Amino acid sequence: MEPVEETGVVRVQPFVLAVLLSLVVLFTPASGVPTAPPGTDKIVHLLVFALLAWTGRTAGLRPWPLLGGLVVYAAASEVLQAALPIGRSGDVLDGLTDVAGALLGLGLYLATARLRTGERSGRSRLG
């Protein structure tokens, strides 16, 4: 059975959804953010930006421009959180966690892409 080729829309759709999710997560007013144990916000930041990087690569975005865009987005989101009247504050550590998440997402995409390439060529990367 031949694999079904993905259309551009199918490849881009997860990235668009990830961007929309990030906007909700990053810009929900403080009154709408549920209480959680300390450090939970850092995990959320890490995972959101890993998802953005992963889905961005899946959509066909090149890694360096994607990483650059995510770094700018991380910084801008923290500045906007502090500036907008949504009851949130900007946090440098959140921005750094965002960048770490983007790097994590890019690394995981690269690792799984290498595994998929090995599977298609009939070589095993595991042993």
Give per-residue pLDDT as tens, 15-37: 999 999 999 999 999 998 889 89
What residue segments make up the domains of the chain, in order of their start? Answer: 38-120
* pTM given for the model: 0.85
Can you state the angle between helices 92-120 and 63-83, rounded to 10 degrees? 150
DSSP 8-state code for residue 87: S
> pLDDT digit string (tens) for 44-73?
999 999 999 999 999 999 999 999 999 999
